Amino acid sequence: MFVSYKWLQDYVDLTGVSAAELAEKITKSGIEVEGVEVLNEGVKGVVVGHVLEREKHPNADKLNKCLVDIGAEEPVQIICGAPNVDKGQKVAVATVGAKLPGNFKIKRAKLRGEESNGMICSLQELGIEGKIVPKEYAEGIFVFPADAVVGTDAIALLNRDDEILELGLTPNRADCLSMLGVAYEVAAILGREVKLPETNLEPAAEKASDYVKIVVEAPEDNPLYSAKMIKNVKIGPSPLWMQARLMSAGIRPHNNVVDITNYILLEYGQPLHAFDYDRLGSKEILVRRAHDGEKFTTLDDVERTLTSDHLVITNGTVPVALAGVMGGANSEVTSDTKTVLLESALFNGITVRKASKDHGLRSEASARFEKGVDPNRIRPAGDRAAYLMAKYAGGEVLEGAAEVDTLTVEPVVVSITLEKINRVLGTNLVMSQVKEIFERLQFVASVEGDTITVTAPTRRSDIKIEEDLIEEVARLYGYDNIPKTLPVGSAALGKLTAYQKKRRVVRGYLEGAGLYQAVTYSLTSKEKAAQYALEKREAIRLAMPMSEDHSVLRLSLLPQLLEVVKYNSARQNENLAVYETGNIFLANGTDVLPEEREHLAAAMTGLWTNHSWQGEKKPVDFFVLKGILEGLFAKLGLTDKVGYVQAHVEGMHPGRTADILLNGSKIGFVGQVHPGVQKELDLKDTYVFELSLQAVLKEKTDDLQYEAIPRFPSITRDIALVANKETVSGTMKNIILEAGAPLLKEAHVFDLYEGDKMEEGKKSIAFSLKYAHPKRTLTDEEVTKVHEKVLAALKEKTGAVLRG
Amino acid sequence: MQERLKELQAEAVQKVEQSASLKELNDIRVAYLGKKGPITEVLRGMGKLSAEERPVMGALANEVREAITAKIEAKQAELEEAAVQAKLASETIDVTLPGRPVKVGNHHPLTKIIEEIEDLFIGMGYEVAEGPEVEQDYYNFEALNLPKGHPARDMQDSFYITEEILLRTHTSPVQARTMEQHQGKGPIKIICPGKVYRRDNDDATHSHQFMQIEGLVVGEDIRMSDLKGTLEVFAKKLFGEDREIRLRPSFFPFTEPSVEMDISCKMCGGHGCSVCKHTGWIEILGAGMVHPNVLEMAGYDSKKYTGFAFGMGPERIAMLKYGIDDIRHFYTNDVRFLKQFAVEE
């Protein structure tokens, strides 16, 4: 809502309160003033001039030579290029020395040999947006009414010396969608009176109800319809001050009748509609739901197809307006209109919202119905508009109004105790302070003991319950004045859950291992959603996506993480290590919440170690990622529960990918991105893993228990074996550990050779074995006995033998 | 004979002094003190001496032998020390060369902000509650006093999946769920961080996905002044002790009264500048007293219980705190952006 500081003074005395000060006060007490616009930024020296003579410029077809009286001793010659300039007009003249927007200075000039002492201005040249300039002046200069006084300040006449407060209104404060509503608010803040606008008319002989009959078939959509009749109107421009106020509010002036309806919309917050009575073609207004498929051309000349969701105003047979949204071309006020039927009505906000949404017609009017208008301001708004039409369109207003009224307006009465107000706010207010606040708001309030009973005015439909009263007290008492305390009560201990704690451990560990945390979008494309999914399910699709790129919920994190790698690689960040934790979404059926599973994914590419001056460079490989995973599982106490098996995962390198198993079940995979995919994404060798973090973090870990440090030395024996190439080390290790138990404590691979010095299909693999006994030093014979057993088991189960 | 020994001693001492290596020294040792050395030879000739002379000469020979030995040992120590020094000198490195890099990543700036806020509230006795990102319309709107057709639903156009299921538009449904789980009994003190989604075109200040942290305190005597005090503690801890807060009335369907909290602008110290749009204040979060309808719907008796709630956007906080100018940076994950948040303040 744009509020003119000058206009507001019609209703509230603002003496001693500047626009900026007012903005600050309004903001502090509840409505955010998002800005104060000074309309006239530096324009000066523009006066009303009278065009005394106009003739064609002798040397230029498109220019006019004008003699203009600007209130100086002598008229001045001005060259003007506007097509509509003419003798006898009152115009805005930027005199020599004047300043226009953009710090444009007017100087004496010669145009094609003719002297020009100033410039005749269009409204755009004075800083008014083209789209709100009246149509007839949009392509040329603006013409003032004939009574404008030559030599007076044109800026003031156009209200450009005003300041506009831009209110950011929350949905509950629809009452401030009108100048009067703002006036009540400002009056409460300043503790001043509200002056209401003039509406009094001379009684007329004829009655409005003799001219039209109102029938409402859908009273729940239209509880009140009131029509006033104004005869013998003369369509013409509205008074300059009204046009200026409309333009300041961002509304384009049209003609007196239409401007008055718009003016009342701003002043009262009540949308009105003026019909050309003679074009209605009947003496009836029938309000009903539209028929499905019914056609109707709105006054923007668009033919619309209606449904029974839409409420229409008809002449008894065909629609003449889409209720609360837009009038029809068939009954629009034109320059020939003589008799006006003025509608002031209450339409159901939800019905209006549906129609304005369906037809893409959000207007100032529909917005007000949607948010709710004051039911007690419907008739006064009509009266005020009729009064203005009598005054500024020469109309005769007929007596009364033709109406259908099924509206019951029950004032809202709320009682609250002082104790409750103070208990909720933490204040120590006394009753007189509370009562004074409601009086400033012009709420009727009565006190009985500790209880105050408040009747909220109908304009404040947001006041319904005790808490609403508390809010009124709080905001007018001032939040600055409320004390600062901390909640009292049990000193509960705040802490993270085990899951949350472990999630932080995972992040900290991965970052310590050199990975940066990324956060990507949950919404992705259908194609990407399916890639690398651990569980193949149909991705959940939005009903109305904004783009295909963000149309479904992800089933895996890797596709977006690979995008991150791609983005960075293209920007010279070739050595990259990133991870992400986030949810994936598994559908459970329509109208059932999906399963959300937290995943962890990582992607690494480029060099792992790079110590430039030592010439050390090691690219990332499978075992770097596996090492990171092993460290992670060790950190979480899951080493013994995790395993890796060679696996085929779509989009992954078939020879360099392993499934990650937890207690034997697959929870994820690790490996190299398939070279084909790498090429497609323009990536160098990229290694990734993705796993269900949820499965990992929910896995119970054993309680920490101290184990005695071995007091007796261990014995290490290394073995170099010749094994079949396809016998994986993991299998061999398991055999070794099993056969060597319980004296064998550890076994690890320390060498691997698969070169051409080996027999075809064989490899050399060396293990280091560590034997120990917790209670004594082992003897050589003891170890040898077990060691032999290990070798025998290896030979038996894999054919591996000691290398000769 | 006596002279010969003295001569040998002088000769040996001189050679020892002149020796430049341990090998040379050893050669000298062998040459003079060895079994075939001149001193041994001299001693062999002792048989020709008289019984009186013999012990005297023997003692002298031993003296000479010891003197040479001592000299050799001293020289040996000297040479060894020199060798150690030479070795150390040859091992000198350029200590200004860079160290072997230890790769360390760091939190995403949003996680950094969220964990900081979590820890702050955990310190005040809050627990961290989480909930689904795909929500029922009921928890996202209805349980929060936003019935179907409510005009305030326009404020946050949503991504619906079906008429009843949508991507949550705020983390408030976690509050509704938590209250429901408490079955109308006992106090609640939680903060709820998480991802939320709204139908916005991504640009410098809008993102269709963003983070939110909300807080909820419910109890038998929770006051607006408690909210104000809590928010002040939070703002001063997060933004600095010198920052002031102010509350402005506002509107949210799930709180009544509702407020917005501003903090004094760090850039200008509250005098007004372009960062704070010349107001001296920067909007940080929305808050309010839990609407009685919200309490009642979750099973709490609003006559007995009151509560406060607040909600804020980690993106906005990070942007203000670190001077980030474009919200899209958070989701582009340019590593040159990410690595700037490694420092623990």
Rounded to 5 degrees, what are φ and ψ at A52? -85, -40
The two tokens of residue A110 are: 């010669």
When CB atoms are compared, the residue of A479, A491, A497 closest to B125 is: A491
pLDDT value of position A556: 97
Q: What is the pLDDT of residues A582-606, one digit of tens each?
A: 999 999 988 899 999 999 999 999 9
Identify whether the C-beta of residue B61 lies closer than 8 Å to the C-beta of residue B39. yes
- Residue in chain A lying closest to B100 (CA): A611
What residues contact B158, with CB distance under 8 A and at least 6 apart? B140, B166, B167, B169, B197, B198, B199
d(CA B46, CA B38): 13
Distance between A370 CA and the closest CA of chain B, angstroms: 7
The whole-angstrom distance between residue A458's C-alpha and the CA centroid of its chain comes to 31
Closest CA to B230 of A273, A181, A504, A487: A487
Q: What percent of chain A has pLDDT over 90?
A: 83
- Residue in chain A lying closest to B132 (CA): A596
Distance between B85 CA and the closest CA of chain A, angstroms: 26
The two tokens of residue A443 are: 């709420």
Identify whether the C-beta of residue A579 lies closer than 8 Å to the C-beta of residue A517. yes
d(CA A704, CA B81): 52
Looking at beta carbons, which residues of chain A come within 8 Å of B247?
Answer: 479-480, 482
Closest CA to A192 of A371, A358, A8: A8
Q: What are the residue ranges of helices labelled H in A570-651?
A: 622-635
Assess whether pLDDT exceeds 60 at residue B155: no
Identify whether the C-beta of residue A505 lies closer than 8 Å to the C-beta of residue A635. yes
d(CA B79, CA B71): 12
pLDDT value of position B50: 82
Q: Are strands B127-128 and B188-197 parallel, antiparallel or unpaired?
A: parallel
How far, CA to CA in Å, does A650 sit from each of A537, A540, A563, A673?
Answer: 15, 21, 17, 9
Looking at beta carbons, which residues of chain A come within 8 Å of B230?
Answer: 486-487
Taking an 8 Å cut-off on Cβ atoms, the answer to whether B331 and A520 are in contact is yes
Distance between A211 CA and the closest CA of chain B, angstroms: 38
What residues contact A43, with CB distance under 8 A and at least 6 apart? A98, A99, A100, A101, A126, A127, A155, A160
pLDDT value of position A238: 95
Looking at beta carbons, which residues of chain A come within 8 Å of B331?
Answer: 519-521
* Residues within 8 A of B (CB atoms), A 362-381 only: 370-371
A68 touches chain B (CB under 8 A): no
Q: What is the pLDDT of residues A352-392, one digit of tens each?
A: 999 999 999 988 899 999 888 999 999 999 999 999 999 99
Full strand arrangement of the beta sheet holding A744-753: A744-753, A762-771, A715-724, A801-802
What residues contact A377, with CB distance under 8 A and at least 6 apart? A180, A268, A269, A270, A458, A459
Taking an 8 Å cut-off on Cβ atoms, the answer to whether A573 and B334 are in contact is yes
Using 50, 70 and 90 to split pLDDT, how confident is the model at B65? confident
* ipTM of this complex prediction, to 2 decimal places: 0.87
Using 50, 70 and 90 to split pLDDT, how confident is the model at B142? very high
Q: At how many degrees (to 10) do helices B53-90 and B2-18 cross? A: 0
d(CA B61, CA B49): 13
Assess whether pLDDT exceeds 70 at residue A630: yes
Taking an 8 Å cut-off on Cβ atoms, the answer to whether B289 and A568 are in contact is no
pLDDT value of position A498: 94
Q: What is the pLDDT of residues A3-56, one digit of tens each?
A: 999 999 999 999 999 999 999 899 888 888 888 888 887 888 999 999 999 999
Looking at beta carbons, which residues of chain A come within 8 Å of B232?
Answer: 484
pLDDT value of position B45: 77
Using 50, 70 and 90 to split pLDDT, how confident is the model at B156? low
Assess whether pLDDT exceeds 60 at residue B311: yes
Which helix (H) or strand (E) element contains residue A600? strand A595-605
Mutate to test the interface with A, among B153, B158, B159 (most CBs of A within 10 A): B159
A479 touches chain B (CB under 8 A): yes
d(CA B268, CA B344): 25
Looking at beta carbons, which residues of chain A come within 8 Å of B155?
Answer: 171
pTM: 0.81
Closest CA to A349 of A329, A334, A365: A365
Q: What is the pLDDT of residues A487-535, one digit of tens each?
A: 987 667 899 999 999 999 999 999 999 999 999 999 999 999 989 999 9
- Residue in chain B lying closest to A482 (CA): B225
- In the DSSP assignment, the letter for residue A476 is H
Q: How many contiguous H segments (helices) and E segments (strands) does chain A have?
A: 21, 42
Taking an 8 Å cut-off on Cβ atoms, the answer to whether A494 and B161 are in contact is no
Residue with token string 């100087």: A107
Identify whether the C-beta of residue B254 lies closer than 8 Å to the C-beta of residue B267. no
Closest CA to B176 of B135, B124, B224: B135
Looking at beta carbons, which residues of chain B come within 8 Å of A583?
Answer: 133, 195
Taking an 8 Å cut-off on Cβ atoms, the answer to whether A568 and B162 are in contact is no
pLDDT value of position B334: 96
3 state SS of B154: helix
The two tokens of residue A647 are: 């696996």
Q: What is the pLDDT of residues A266-303, one digit of tens each?
A: 999 999 999 999 999 999 999 999 999 999 999 999 99
pLDDT value of position A102: 83
What average pLDDT does this structure show over A660-667?
A: 96
- Residue in chain B lying closest to A566 (CA): B334
3 state SS of A188: helix
Give me the total of CB pairs closer than 8 Å, taking one residue from chain A and one from chain B.
Answer: 252
Instruction: List, as one string, the DSSP characters of A707-764.
Output: -PPP-S--EEEEEEEEEETTS-HHHHHHHHHHHHTTTEEEEEEEEEE-STTSPTTEEE
Assess whether pLDDT exceeds 80 at residue B273: no
Looking at beta carbons, which residues of chain B come within 8 Å of A511?
Answer: 104-107
What residues contact A682, with CB distance under 8 A and at least 6 apart? A566, A569, A570
What residues contact A470, with CB distance under 8 A and at least 6 apart? A416, A420, A421, A424, A425, B256, B257, B289
Mean pLDDT of chain A: 93
Looking at beta carbons, which residues of chain B come within 8 Å of A516?
Answer: 105-106, 108, 333, 335, 338-339
Q: A230: burial class by Cβ within 10 Å (0-12, 13-18, 19+)?
A: buried
Q: How many contiguous H segments (helices) and E segments (strands) does chain B have?
A: 12, 9
Q: What is the pLDDT of residues B175-225, one digit of tens each?
A: 999 999 999 888 999 999 999 999 999 999 999 999 999 999 999 989 999
When CB atoms are compared, the residue of B100, B111, B149 closest to A611 is: B100
pLDDT value of position B186: 84
Taking an 8 Å cut-off on Cβ atoms, the answer to whether A170 and B107 are in contact is no
Assess whether pLDDT exceeds 90 at residue B274: no
Angle at A649 between CA A647 and CA A654, to 5 degrees: 65
Mean pLDDT comparison of A107-111, A351-355, A666-670, highest-scoring range: A666-670
A489 touches chain B (CB under 8 A): yes
Distance between B21 CA and the closest CA of chain A, angstroms: 35
Rounded to 5 degrees, what are φ and ψ at A707? -120, 135
When CB atoms are compared, the residue of A493, A494, A610 closest to B121 is: A494
Q: A192: burial class by Cβ within 10 Å (0-12, 13-18, 19+)?
A: middle
Distance between A461 CA and the closest CA of chain B, angstroms: 14
Distance between A426 CA and the closest CA of chain B, angstroms: 5
Which helix (H) or strand (E) element contains residue A234? none
Q: Which amino acid is at A85?
A: V
Q: Which amino acid is at A800?
A: A
Residue with token string 């037809």: A359
Which helix (H) or strand (E) element contains residue B306? strand B306-312
Identify whether the C-beta of residue A515 lies closer than 8 Å to the C-beta of residue B105. yes
* Residues within 8 A of B (CB atoms), A 116-175 only: 170-173
Instruction: List, as one string, the DSSP characters of B80-116.
Output: HHHHHHHHHHHT---TTSPPPPPP-----HHHHHHHH
Distance between B211 CA and the closest CA of chain A, angstroms: 11
Dihedral over Cα of A326, A329, A334, A339: its sign = negative
pLDDT value of position B13: 87
Taking an 8 Å cut-off on Cβ atoms, the answer to whether A521 and B209 are in contact is yes
Q: Are strands A311-314 and A163-168 parallel, antiparallel or unpaired?
A: unpaired
What average pLDDT does this structure show over A208-223?
A: 95
The whole-angstrom distance between residue A519's C-alpha and the CA centroid of its chain comes to 21
What average pLDDT does this structure show over A614-633?
A: 93
Looking at beta carbons, which residues of chain B come within 8 Å of A559?
Answer: none
The whole-angstrom distance between residue A121's C-alpha and the CA centroid of its chain comes to 40
The two tokens of residue A242 are: 């009204």
Q: What is the pLDDT of residues A147-163, one digit of tens each?
A: 999 999 999 999 899 99
What average pLDDT does this structure show over A410-424?
A: 94
The two tokens of residue B292 are: 């009685």
Closest CA to A382 of A364, A402, A363, A352: A402
The two tokens of residue B328 are: 């899209």
Give the bridge partners for A295, in sequence order.
Answer: A305
HSE at residue A794, side-chain half, CA atoms within 13 A, is 29
Taking an 8 Å cut-off on Cβ atoms, the answer to whether B250 and A170 are in contact is yes
Using 50, 70 and 90 to split pLDDT, how confident is the model at B40? confident
Q: B317: burial class by Cβ within 10 Å (0-12, 13-18, 19+)?
A: buried
